[in-house]
Amino acid sequence: MTDTDITRAAIVTGSSRGIGAAVARALAESGMNVALNCSSERSLAETEALARELAAAHGIRALVAVANVASAEEAQQMADTALEAFGRIDVLVNNAGITRDGLAARMSCEDFDAVIDVNLKGSFHCAKAVMRPMMKQRYGRIINMSSVSGVYGNAGQVNYAASKAGVIGMTKTLAKELARKNITVNTIAPGFIDTAMTAALSDEQREAAAARIGMGRLGAPEDIADLARFLASEEAGYITGQTICVDGGLTL
């Protein structure tokens, strides 16, 4: 069997909506089986609806795993479920993330820890859960979601920025550890993307944000998904340890 005969399989965490859903669509469009993830029963119905949509539209297999990635045990169970269903795991997209914004002087330790637990430790838990299957098949693509906040910092997001900066450091280290096994590890750092997280902004805040962006507009989830699809592909096999900002020129 050649690589072209293999049906690749992916796990996309936090894929009920927004960037995660767009990434799952992009990978399904490219012919991959996809395991979708939500953290609780509250998002289960819309995640299951997306799974049905992708399976019907693209002739792939799609499943849903409810797992809080902050739990190493639940992350492992999710990976085991995908491996049992698909027979392999080729791609992991660590997209699940939360915010608990506030100025550092007022931030509770609980809010700091919660963001680190999901965004940073959750990414590690999921990566660790898929490493051995990827090493055994000598092929893998791990794509971590950071943020421009993790590259440049952002007032009011000390926990979020710390978690996303940690993701970048983790990416570089895993890339070095896994390269000889033909596993690439890269990071996408989105800027202002039009998702539920930015929907809470007022019109004035959105206009101010757009004014700071070279292209004069917020990005779309598909802008991130297009890059994720490429990094998950055969063609990206010599790219590893990189952090790519997708921000319309915000950080220039």
122-148 b/e (C-beta count within 10 Å ≥ 16 → b): bbbbbbebbbebbeebebbbbbbbbbb
Residues 165-175 as b/e (b if ≥16 CB within 10 A, e otherwise) read bbbbebbbebb
Alpha helices, DSSP H, located in 118-186: 122-137, 148-152, 158-178
- The two tokens of residue 144 are 């971590």
DSSP 242: -
Output DSSP code: residue 201: S
Q: Is 152 part of the annotated catalytic residue set?
A: no
Which 8-state DSSP code applies to residue 144? E
Among residues 139, 152, 160, 238, which one is catalytic?
A: 160
Task: Quote the tokens at residue 90.
Answer: 């080729």
Catalytically active residues, by annotation: 160
